Amino acid sequence: LSIRWVSNQRQRWGSATYANTQIRISSELQGVPEYVLDSVIHHELCHLIQPNHSATFRTLEARYPQLLRAQAYLEGYALGRSRAEGERAEGERGENSAD
């Protein structure tokens, strides 16, 4: 019934609630290429049909024509985000340490 951005979802790109057919997309993805966002939405729509990551789910998910490209983008995006957070944490530790 709805797809909306949420800012409290940092560990997942998206989530779906079968009971009320709502999809939430992490605001972390604002600005990604359209095919990436579409792949996350497609993934969550598949969950409304098949709630787990079974073979049936993977068959449904594979229908998205740019799935592998989008997955590669998200893997790189996650790695870059993780490194940036690590560098930020390292900088904060350096600022707070007594020399």
Is residue 96 packed enough to be buried (19+ CB in 10 Å), middle (13-18) or exposed (0-12)?
exposed
User: 56-92 burial string, b = 16+ CB within 10 Å, else e?
Assistant: ebeebbeebebbeebeebbeeeeeeeeeeeeeeeeee
Domain of 27, CATH number, reads 3.30.2010.10
Q: For residue 99, name the pLDDT band (cuts at 50, 70, 90).
A: very low
Q: How many domains does the chain have?
A: 1
Does position 94 have pLDDT exceeding 70, yes or no?
Answer: no
Q: Are the C-beta atoms of residues 70 and 78 closer than 8 Å to each other?
A: no
Which of 15-19, 28-32, 63-67, 90-94 shows the lowest mean pLDDT across its residues?
90-94
pLDDT above 90 coverage of the chain, percent: 74
Q: For residue 96, name the pLDDT band (cuts at 50, 70, 90).
A: low
Q: For residue 23, what are the domain limits?
A: 2-96
The whole model's pTM is what? Answer: 0.84
pLDDT in tens, 12-59: 999 999 888 999 999 999 999 999 999 999 999 999 999 999 999 999
> Which of the two residues, 68 and 94, has the higher pLDDT score?
68
